[in-house]
């Protein structure tokens, strides 16, 4: 699985979690941070 695929999956989980499981707010934001990190890694590899 590429970094971009992982980032997209994590972002979707974050959006779903935000609306469905609002009680788990802290964990949802961790997923968002991971999605952003993987997206940045993907972009960095594309440039290199």
Question: Cβ–Cβ contacts within 10 Å for residue 44, how many?
Answer: 10
Distance in angstroms (rounded) separating the CA atoms of residues 17 and 28: 6
pTM, rounded to two decimals: 0.52
Question: Cβ–Cβ contacts within 10 Å for residue 19, how many?
Answer: 9
Coil, helix or strand at residue 46: helix
Residue 21's pLDDT is what? 66
1-48: pLDDT as tens digits = 688 888 888 888 878 777 776 666 677 778 788 888 888 998 899 886
Residue 21 CA from chain centroid, whole number:
16
Residue 7's pLDDT is what? 86
């Amino acid at each position: 699985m590429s970094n971009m695929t992982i980032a997209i999956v994590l972002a979707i989980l974050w959006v779903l979690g935000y609306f469905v499981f609002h009680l788990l707010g802290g964990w949802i934001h961790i997923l968002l941070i991971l999605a952003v990190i993987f997206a940045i890694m993907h972009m960095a590899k594309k440039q290199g």
